[in-house]
Amino acid sequence: MMISLRDIARTVTLADGSPLHILKGVNLEVDGGEYVSIVGRSGTGKTTLLNILGMLDKPTSGVYEFEGKNVVKMGERRRTKLRGNNFGFVFQQFNLLPKRTAHDNVVAPLMYAKGMQFWQRNTLAREGLERLGLGERLDSMQQHLSGGEQQRVAIARALVRQPNVILCDEPTGALDVETGAHIMDTLRQVAQEQNAALIVITHDLAIAARADTTYTLADGVLHRAVDIQQMVEEMVES
Ligand SMILES: Nc1ncnc2c1ncn2[C@@H]1O[C@H](COP(=O)(O)OP(=O)(O)OP(=O)(O)O)[C@@H](O)[C@H]1O
Ligand SMILES: [Mg+2]
């Protein structure tokens, strides 16, 4: 198993000093080539969970094994290296480098790729942007790109190092339905080509339903969603 979370909890302290138990006992297993979607209402802890999966945050308790190694006990340097070599992130807020071009943003993660020449990096970045329909926007500055274009740059950036795990937080939040569906197809194709795990947080149930496995995050735990209709009802009721 590539990713294995067992009984993961995450508690933070609020401004008034009281504890907030965001995650209470999350269990999740994801293998290479698998496509998992996670839905849940705002504030249920989806981003918190994604940050833990991507080793940007540590759980308060529980076990996280990545390819059989316990990540929680690992030192910061090893975790950083593991993260850089294995994970691609599409953040909810895009997090692009301001006042840089689309191309600069996508090439940035390759700056640390050893043994890769300047032109190779540029080619990879350009091809990635072209694949996401941004071949005409390579030299456009971040601040001149539309929200949906920025989102696609963020996706190209996440994929450029051919990660083993692609973590996406609302990757179609700024896109129209048609473009969103197309981008999800691309993400899925890329994941399959590389046998990468694809983990997608989304509010779009149509997108969620197309994953191999769909989970709902509620009350600090993940529930396996049995069918889409049930998911819709759960989201409306809770
Ligand atoms: N470091 C922190 N300190 C205090 N509260 C936090 C912290 N991190 C997250 N929270 C709170 O925990 C809850 C879960 O946050 P999180 O960002 O994971 O939600 P989410 O499911 O991603 O929501 P959304 O769908 O709106 O993006 C929120 O109520 C948030 O305010
Ligand atoms: Mg979030």
- 176-195 pLDDT, tens digit per residue, is 999 999 999 999 999 999 99
Residue from 36, 9, 22, 20 nearest 224 by CA:
36
Spatial separation of the C-alpha atoms in residues 48 and 56, rounded to whole Å: 9
Could you tell me if residue 63 is inside a domain? Answer: no
Could you tell me if residue 8 is inside a domain? Answer: no
The secondary element (H helix, E strand) that includes residue 28 is strand 19-30
Domain count, the chain: 1
| Close Cβ partners of 6 (under 8 Å, ≥ 6 residues apart) | 27, 62, 63, 64, 65
Could you tell me if residue 66 is inside a domain? Answer: no
Could you tell me if residue 134 is inside a domain? Answer: yes
- Atom number in ligand 1 closest to CA 203: 25
- Report the chain's terminal Cα–Cα distance, integer Å: 32
The parent domain of residue 180 ranges over 33-57+86-237
CB 237 within 8 A of CB 60: no
What is the pLDDT, as a whole number, of residue 238? Answer: 59
Could you tell me if residue 226 is inside a domain? Answer: yes
Could you tell me if residue 21 is inside a domain? Answer: no
Cα angle 194-38-237, degrees, rounded to a multiple of 5: 160
Ligand 1 contact, 51 CB (< 6 A) = no
Taking the centre of ligand 2 as the mean of its atom positions, its distance from the CA of residue 77, in whole angstroms, is 26
Taking the centre of ligand 1 as the mean of its atom positions, its distance from the CA of residue 44, in whole angstroms, is 7
Q: Return the CATH number at 112.
A: 3.40.50.300
Residue pLDDT, tens place only, 93-142? 999 999 999 999 999 999 877 888 999 999 999 999 999 999 999 999 99
Could you tell me if residue 14 is inside a domain? Answer: no
Could you tell me if residue 73 is inside a domain? Answer: no
Ligand 1 contact, 137 CB (< 6 A) = no
